[in-house]
A and B are shown apart, each in its own frame.
Chain A
Amino acid sequence: MTAGAAEAHVRASRKETALWLLDDLVPGSGANNLSLAFRVAGRLDPTALAAALDLLPRRYEVLRTVFHRTDDALTRTILPSLGIEPEQAAGHGDERGTLTAFVARPFRADGSPLLRALLLHGPDEDVFCLALHHAIADVQSTALLRAQLVEFYEAALAGRTPEPDPVPAWHEPEPSEQSVTFWRDTMAGFRSSGLELWCEKPAPATTTLEGDEVTHVLSPEAHEVVRRLQRELRAPESVVLLTAYAVLLAGHGAGPDLTIGSPVNSRGREAAGAVGYHSNLVTLRLLTERTAGFRELVGRARRVFMEAMAHADMPADELLDVIERDGSGWRNVLFRHVFNYVPFTADQRTFTVAGAAAELVVVENGFSQFDLEFFVTSDRNSATVRAAFYTGVLDRADVELMVRRYDALLVAVGAALDTPVGSLSIWSPEDHAIIEAANATDQPIELTSVLAGFTERAAADPDALAVRDGDQLVSYGRLWCAAVHTAERLTAAGVRPGDVVALLVPRGAALAAAVFGTWLAGASYLPLDPHHPAERIAYQLDDAGARVVVTGDGLTAPGDRRTIPAPDVDTAPTVPVDVGTVGVAGPDDLAYVIYTSGSTGRPKGIPITHRSLVNHITDYAVRFGVVTTARPTGWLSTYSFDTSSLELMMPLLHGGHTVVLPDEARTDGALLAEEIRAHDIGFLQATPTTWRLVADRITDLVSGRTLLSGGEPLPGGLAATLTGAGAELWNVYGPTESTIWATAGRVPADPGDRVDVGTPIANTRIFIAGPNGESLPIGLRGELCVAGVGVASGYHGRPDLTAERFGVDSQWGRFYRSGDVARWLPDGRIDLLGRMDRQVKLRGNRIELGEIEAVLSDHPDVEAAAVLVVGDPAADGSLAAFVQVSHRPEAMGELWEYARQRLPRAVVPHRFLAVDAFPRTGSDKVDYLALADLAVRQSAATGRDAAGPVGGDALTATLTKLFAELLARPDLNADAHFFTSGGHSLLAATLAQRIKDETGVRLALTDVFENPTPAALAGRLRGLA
């Protein structure tokens, strides 16, 4: 390519500047590149093509435009001449890849030409491709250029060399005042943060704009609806299609104050044939509320679209000043989704070049400026959606489903023009198939209760081992006798069927007998944790109305209660097993009432029936292989958690036995390993916290054993450690309100970063609900709801809370709202994303706290991390990261940089705080409430600007350095508290000594005690100096 000397430089327009800004912000991208490509049968004549390519820039001045960036300005100028020599390549192999790479190659604002050509030789055909920067062309231009190029080529082939009529570059007039006013009014009060789709990922730290696309030909049914609605609603096809796009986006979480970008031609009548950058993206602001019908929305869209067209002389970039920006993003302030309607005319795609058949080839540049752009092309017979998307925020699987949902939605609206769009399903047939398959969990429940199952086994083989409790070996028969004895004593103490019996008994054979004895008495049990404070126990006893408390050795129930001691399993009178008595525990009778940990508010009692319990235990025993193994089950979990019951009950339905493990084995890996080895335990269940604590001691033992992890998110690394050691690992999930675990997923050998929670268990249905209760399809984040046999009737004695958390869905029946955010994966498994209150919007940016934690936890020195928002997320809120880095405290100083490189800027924590250990809730989970409080108190203690690295003056800086040195904490700032950062009195004396050495001022020790921050100490020193 050759270029002549340039003419005068002119400052680039605002529209052009905005275009080049994108090249600056995403350097090396071809996001602004366009293409004109066509395939010709046979060979193109190289000489004629060269002649035609020579004439093209001679005719169109705009093609000779180049840009120069200097420090202070972007200018353009027109080269007097420009020659284009096509690059040549053999088109074997990946033609599409070759063309995409050619088009994607960046152009530069350094005076070099903004177009280039490629001639690709296929076996029987040639492909010609012209790549142009958007600054000198648009889609309309490529059609004009194609016609002109063919004309020049044919002339050259015929031996003519026409002298082209020069066409000067056309410059758009300034937008009219009327348009400026119109757009300012139209966009007033708009905020782009409401545009995010529930299937979008947070934008990556570095914007790449790497794009991908999906193509879908509308089904004949959908196309028929579009054609019909044009007539029926008296709206252009484009508006019908646009409205459906808006409804689709709204169904995916955008809006209802929705904006969609739409390209329009900004050529005035006098410039209809102008080549150049003469398209504008207009912003269509379309209120898409759920209550409106499609007919109404089409009317609204038509008006919005027409008005926008009438004011299309205002480039979108001029509008940016009007909009209040949310967050720090520079992308997509006006809209994130684009709709582009291209009516087809037959001659546009196929034509002839000197008599040879030719057809247009669509070449993408491999980038997407927008989150999602629908290009809809349509003719009488069909319509095609090409959906281009930014891979940084959307996955191909999501977009593939979206185009299918678009199709299904069009079919649906055809029959329901006045139905509120919020009640129309946006599900595609694939969504239905996959989610319904995952929920097809119906199974007959053969046992009436766990009691019945246990009794059958006891009758069949009374001498078999049921419970190993230390040195005590308890057979099924013995356990039965102790249960009968317990039932008799309970009855004697006044317990009647339907009563509640509290069990204040440590895990062991006596507790097992008390459980079955309670059921034999027709009662349900209330499991109590002897470690809980007396008030909590008293509250549960009173609230549940427990008739009698069964107490273990040395334990007493608070207050004046009727108690009986736990059975002595070894000495209970021997009685034959009687399967006839188990009918006292009917499927609809309560098996237990359990209280949730109640981190906020009063603990809530959850009554669970025998049907729910036996359904779940039966499923687990089969699913987790307890039925088929000869190895015993470990009984490790605290019995006041419902999860503990499966460790007792699964083996007892199948003739196996459970081994009582000590509480300390939950934290002492060596002890747990000893127990596994001694008893050859085949099944163990714990929280990820426990697995993390014990993993290094048990990895050489777990091969071939089944491990369950539940209660908290299972980190991928931990899962990989366990599966890598050969464990059969399951990740389970479930609220107590729907009975123990509701879903289970076998963790694959190479679990990756995120471990899903599998699929619903027997007779359990999961649905993911949007904010309006609508059931969401694959990929969309919403609240996980559990329906099915396990769902409790509600909270005991709490109708208000019951009404809030439990509901009835027309499709899924009675359900429980979990408060957890989740989404369906394309394979029908469930991806759990954390608690709803852990998904926050901080100044407009959606933040998944769990994901930040995952990134921090990947740092080699971080043992664990917890991230939370401190303060009001809408105002002064900030992100605080608590990290455990006890093995290398100096890693604290590296974390900010580490996070900054891996996380979008908006979610990099503002503060990093080291902790020795995380406060934990009673159920062994991280206590975020306690952390939030700690963060607030640290803020209060360290003043307002805790994020600043050091204080503003030299003395404070010196003191900060001393603090950091003495405490080995390079992360400390001017407001760091000496004693909460690891200091003690001896170090305080050393600090005072060092200060004296450096400043000559002698502080008393009490000065350090009373002024424990560098800033405060600096003040004290100044006072003394």
Chain B
Amino acid sequence: MPSPSVWNVVLDAASDADVVLATDFPVTGRNEGGFTDLTPSLGLDCALWQTVAPARVPGPGIDQDEYLAPWLAEVAASGRTVRAVLGYCAGSVFAGALAERIAVRQPTPPQVVVFDPELVDVPTVHLQFGRVIGNMTAVLTPAEVDELAGAAERLAARPGITPVEFAAELYAIFEPIGSAALRRAGLDEGYAGELVALVGSFMTYLGVAAGLDPRPGWSRATVITSASPASGLNRMRATPGLAPIGVADEVRFDVEHRDLLRTPEVATTVAGLLGAGSQARR
């Protein structure tokens, strides 16, 4: 069996061992804990794979099932039983959706554990785009930053705009400005293109997430919640019209959102959850 191409193997195991899937978009070098931080403390006796988001240009035409298909196909081809699906932040949407689809293919549905799960809406996309710009202030001129930020403000305020449209339009504005700035900073066309495409992938990822309804998947989920009011269930509960979100169980930790996946107590709890799940199946 060749290595998976749309999954990043965070922890390897024998080819017949179970797998735990993790959904996240971690490659931006953000200052947040990721599944690579969490995994060593989980004491897993199986593999852990993390999503690699496909390189796509965001737009309204992307079919959600088509977007999910490569991930599901590779898992199915591996023959591994999916023990659990984990998700972080907006990735929790994919965790819910993937778990729902995997549940029908194996005798026991996978456990779902999501960390500060977020439904993706316009403010989510806006916030994440702001972080992308924030990482690029070294190469963007102040005028370019202003232009991008201003455009994002205007788009976000447009009545009735959907997250997918918002993500696509943001990327359309960003693409030429970002490419020029990166070339100006000395990157060759290839690398500048890769970086800009990465932003596109991220916006696509958010756009697709916005269109998925993870709530059926989440209804079986254990939610790990941080203390950050602007993240996860904390934010959703405070957002009119979203609550209630049905979840099976919630464990709260007095840590910031960005530290959630690198907090030892969280790892201990999750290790316990996964361990208990695997025992129950024996």
Contacts and interface: CB of A to CB of B under 8 A. Distances in A.
Q: Do the two chains belong together in a single complex?
A: yes
Interface in A254-304: none
Given A986-B138, A990-B186, A1006 B227 contact: no
A19 interface: no
A989 B40 contact: no
B264 interface: yes
Give the 3 A-B residue pairs with the shortest CB-CB distance, closest first: A984-B29, A979-B29, A933-B264
Nearest to B253: A533
Task: Name which of A534, A941, A988 has the most chain B CB atoms within 10 A of its CB.
Answer: A988
A987 B29 CA distance: 9
B190 interface: yes
Nearest to B227: A533
B28 A989 contact: no
Contacts of B227: 533
Interface stretch (B80-88, B103-111, B191-199): B191-199
Nearest to A996: B188
Contacts of A988: 29
7 contacts: A536-B254, A985-B28, A985-B198, A990-B186, A993-B188, A993-B191, A1005-B198
A467 B9 CA distance: 60
A532 B254 contact: yes
Given A937-B37, A985-B135, A1006-B27, A535 B252 contact: yes
A984 B28 contact: yes
Given A937-B40, A937-B262, A988-B29, A533 B187 contact: no
B29 A985 contact: yes
Contacts of B191: 989, 992-993, 1005
Nearest to A991: B191
Contacts of B162: none
B254 A1005 contact: no
A922 B186 CA distance: 46
B138 A533 contact: no
Nearest to B30: A984
Nearest to A932: B264
B40 A940 contact: yes
A930 interface: yes
A929 interface: yes
B182 interface: yes
A989 B187 contact: yes
B164 to A, nearest CB: 23
Interface in B151-209: 182, 185-188, 190-192, 194-195, 198
B145 interface: no
A985 B28 CA distance: 5
A983 interface: yes
Contacts of A984: 28-30, 135
Contact of B29 (A929, A934, A983, A1002): A983
A953 B145 CA distance: 42
Contacts of B253: 533
A1005 B262 contact: no
Nearest to A1005: B194
A989 to B, nearest CB: 5
Contact of B192 (A940, A979, A983, A989): A989
A50 to B, nearest CB: 80
A396 to B, nearest CB: 46
A1009 interface: yes
A933 B40 CA distance: 11
B78 interface: no
B62 to A, nearest CB: 21
B191 to A, nearest CB: 5
B48 to A, nearest CB: 15
A48 B194 CA distance: 98
Given A532-B254, A992-B191, 20 more contacts: A533-B227, A533-B254, A535-B252, A536-B254, A919-B259, A937-B37, A937-B40, A937-B262, A941-B36, A979-B29, A983-B29, A984-B30, A985-B29, A985-B198, A986-B135, A986-B138, A987-B29, A1002-B190, A1004-B194, A1005-B191
A989 B264 contact: no
Contacts of A929: 264
Nearest to B195: A989
Interface string A194-209: 0000000000000000
Contacts of B44: none
B8 interface: yes
Interface of A: 532-536, 919, 922, 929-930, 933-934, 937, 940-941, 978-979, 983-990, 992-993, 996, 1002, 1004-1006, 1009-1010
Contacts of A990: 185-187
B264 A1005 contact: no
A922 B29 contact: no
B46 interface: no
B242 interface: no
A985 B192 CA distance: 11
B42 interface: no
A1002 B192 CA distance: 13
B248 interface: no
A523 to B, nearest CB: 28
A995 to B, nearest CB: 10
A986 B196 CA distance: 10
A533 B29 contact: no
A1002 B262 CA distance: 33
B68 interface: no
B69 interface: no
Task: Name which of B8, B136, B195, B263 has the most chain A CB atoms within 10 A of its CB.
Answer: B195
Nearest to A988: B29
Interface string B260-272: 0011100000000
A1006 B197 CA distance: 12
Nearest to B188: A993
Nearest to A534: B252
Interface in B6-35: 8, 27-30
Contacts of B188: 993, 996
B178 to A, nearest CB: 10
B139 interface: yes
A984 B195 CA distance: 11
A414 to B, nearest CB: 57
Interface string B232-260: 00000000000000000000111000010
Interface in B200-240: 227
A922 B227 CA distance: 13
Task: Name which of B136, B191, B262, B264 has the most chain A CB atoms within 10 A of its CB.
Answer: B191
A985 B131 CA distance: 12
Contacts of B198: 985, 1005
A989 B194 contact: yes
A981 to B, nearest CB: 10
A533 B252 contact: yes
Contacts of B36: 941
Contacts of B40: 937, 940
B195 A985 contact: yes
Contacts of A987: 29
A931 to B, nearest CB: 11
A94 B253 CA distance: 70
A949 B201 CA distance: 37
A599 B37 CA distance: 21
B12 to A, nearest CB: 13
Contacts of B192: 989
A207 to B, nearest CB: 41
A33 B187 CA distance: 70
A749 to B, nearest CB: 40
Interface string B27-61: 11110000011001100000000001000000000
Contacts of B190: 1002
